[in-house]
A = this chain, B = another copy of it.
Amino acid sequence: MHFSSKLLEQAVEEFGKLPGVGKKTALRLVLHLLKQSKEDVNRFSQAFTQLKEHIKYCKHCFNISDTDTCEICQSPKRDRTTICVVEDTRDVMAIENTNQYQGVYHVLGGLISPMDGVGPADLRIDGLVDRVRQGDIKEVILALSATMEGDTTIFYLYRKLQEFSIEVSTIARGIAFGGELEYVDEVTLGRSIMTRVPYERKVG
């Protein structure tokens, strides 16, 4: 691609670094931005620097939050004895949208993936174990994607949590194998939380 402007090229390059955004799409988006007012472009840019600068992670569940303790962990309506373990904040949003779950969450920040160099130490697993050790937790629901990485993480977490007298469950596999959690429709996802099964039943 031959750019008529270095500034244009840089902006396209930055956009092109985003996952799933090719050079042509990046150029289309940058040219769209260029047509906006200076104020709009500034607001666009600042949204990301502000987010990066001021974002917090809830000290209990590690979900993205504007405060030290997120809304869900603060809410008196939520059942603090049930923790739903998810990969990232998108999964929290997806589960909240189903209106089927009243417990709290624990956001791992990823899945164990040796191929991508992500080990257990890179995730908030110690934080989860601490919560189980300290609190009156009755059940931990492992709501992870039905992928190789999800299964690996479930297996790892299950072994870590075995020493505690709590129930460990996984969401029902009503969702297609290989499917990623965030793309599952609400009804299916809600059902699969409702019909969760104890982990040992699945392996036993």
Contacts and interface: CB of A to CB of B under 8 A. Distances in A.
Interface of A: 1-8, 10-11, 13-14, 17-21, 24-25, 27-34, 36, 38, 41-56, 58, 63-66, 70-72, 88-90, 92-93, 96-97, 182
* Chain copies in the assembled complex: 2
A52 B47 contact: no
Given A7-B55, A182-B24, A44 B34 contact: no
A68 to B, nearest CB: 12
Contacts of A5: 55-56, 64-66
Main secondary structure of the interface of A (DSSP, over half): helix
6 contacts: A5-B64, A8-B55, A11-B47, A11-B51, A38-B53, A41-B49
A193 B26 CA distance: 26
A110 B65 CA distance: 42
Most buried by B among A13, A45, A54, A71: A45
Nearest to A44: B14
Given A53-B38, A71-B4, A93-B2, A29 B21 contact: yes
A37 to B, nearest CB: 9
